Homo-oligomer: A and B are copies of this chain.
Amino acid sequence: MAETDKRKRIIRAAEQLFHARQFHEITLDEVARRADVGKGTIYLYFSDKHDLFYQTAMAGFEEMCGVIRENASRRLSFREELARATRGVSDFFRLRRPIFHMIRAELKGPGAGVHRGAMLQRRRQLTQLLAAIIGRGKAVGEVRSALPLLVLAEYLLGMLRARALEMGGCAGPGTAGRGKGRGADPGVVEFFLHGAAGRHGATARHGTAAGARVTRRTRNAIGTRKK
């Protein structure tokens, strides 16, 4: 227990520090100080500075995938499942943003050679989790795009990433969605499903009516298209 305790303290410290600075700008002295452990202690649990950040990233990532999987096990409607997964990812992007910077950074440097594979695999894991959900949407006819599921999943992730990181988590009016409030709003899901040509957003409600209207207008729009 004591060991695990220190290990966790170190990981938490690393993650916290990663909020404000980058891998190379963080010293292990700082990590040790913030974790309130001796400098050498870090090397009892991690082989390396890289290893520390790698494991920190992995831990967070795994946690996020866990959240999504958890929801997948319950029998929810496609929409609901997609919304929850979306919210889960979004929360992670926002609250544990450093982890994703770590992952991105880790995938670059050559020092990541050892970890690179594992990291890519994890990322693919996430994509596949989302792809599976979208696949269900296809099965029930709510997703009709002929694009590969993985591509759709990547697009969704890209949007979530944009929402959480570029926009600082505020998607403008209409974000608040409904009750829960803390996570991703339905806007993303709606947009993901019906695109910019669909009518949704500030006034977004989901439901058959809205969906229907979207498509009708869409047809018109296409009709108007020149080239």
Q: Which residues of A contact B (CB under 8 A)?
A: 20-25, 77, 79-80, 101, 104-105, 108-111, 123, 127, 134, 137, 140-148, 150-152, 154-163, 166-167, 171-174, 187-188, 191-204, 206, 208, 211-212, 214-227
Contacts and interface: CB of A to CB of B under 8 A. Distances in A.
A194 B215 CA distance: 8
Contacts of A208: 222-223, 225
B146 A155 contact: no
A204 B146 contact: yes
A193 to B, nearest CB: 4
Given A20-B110, A145-B196, A163-B155, A211 B203 contact: no
Most buried by B among A111, A151, A172: A151
Contacts of A215: 194, 197-198, 215-216, 218-219, 222
22 contacts: A21-B108, A22-B108, A22-B109, A137-B196, A141-B217, A142-B221, A144-B198, A145-B195, A145-B199, A147-B172, A147-B202, A148-B173, A155-B159, A156-B196, A157-B166, A193-B195, A193-B221, A194-B197, A194-B198, A208-B223, A215-B218, A216-B219
Residue from the set A140, A141, A162, A196 with the largest chain B CB neighbour count within 10 Å: A196
Assembly stoichiometry (copies) = 4
Contacts of A23: 22, 24
Given A137-B196, A147-B202, 10 more contacts: A23-B24, A80-B226, A141-B221, A147-B196, A151-B171, A152-B191, A155-B159, A192-B196, A195-B197, A211-B218
Contacts of A155: 159, 162-163, 188, 191, 196
Nearest to A19: B108
A110 B22 CA distance: 9
A163 B174 contact: no
